[in-house]
């Protein structure tokens, strides 16, 4: 790290950047969906700001609506 000089990093790890959730009111395997990471990251980035501005305590929730969570055209494992 250029700032602190630390050279002892963890090994390489794989991450799933897709955000897993459920469509509908039932949490069953049939309605599992994955949101693309670039559309879901705003929720994570702004969560602390929303909690501070709304003066809420956990447990609390935040949601995003709109066209950002659109279905992709997927013939199999390939996304157009």
pLDDT digits (tens, 9 = 90+) for 18-76: 778 888 888 998 888 887 766 667 777 887 888 888 777 777 777 766 655 555 555 55
2-29 mean pLDDT: 83
The answer to whether the CB of 40 falls within 8 A of the CB of 18 is: no
Rounded distance, CA 39 to CA 7, Å?
33
Provide the pLDDT for residue 68.
56
1-27 mean pLDDT: 82
Provide the pLDDT for residue 80.
44
What are the residues facing 32 on neighbouring strands? 22
Residue 32 has phi, psi (to 5 degrees) of -75, 135
**For the chain, what is the domain count?**
1
Provide the pLDDT for residue 67.
57
Does residue 13 sit within a domain?
no
Does residue 1 sit within a domain?
no
Does residue 41 sit within a domain?
yes
Domain holding 38, by residue range, is 19-54
Rg (CA), the chain: 18
């Amino acid at each position: 790290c250029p700032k602190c000089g630390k050279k002892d990093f963890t090994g390489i790890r794989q991450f799933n950047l897709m955000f897993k959730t459920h469509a509908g009111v039932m949490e069953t395997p049939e309605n599992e969906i994955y949101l693309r990471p670039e559309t879901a990251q705003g929720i994570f980035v702004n969560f602390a700001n929303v909690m501070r501005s709304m003066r809420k305590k956990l447990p609390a929730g935040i949601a995003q609506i709109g066209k950002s969570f659109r279905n992709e055209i997927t013939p199999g494992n390939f996304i157009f």
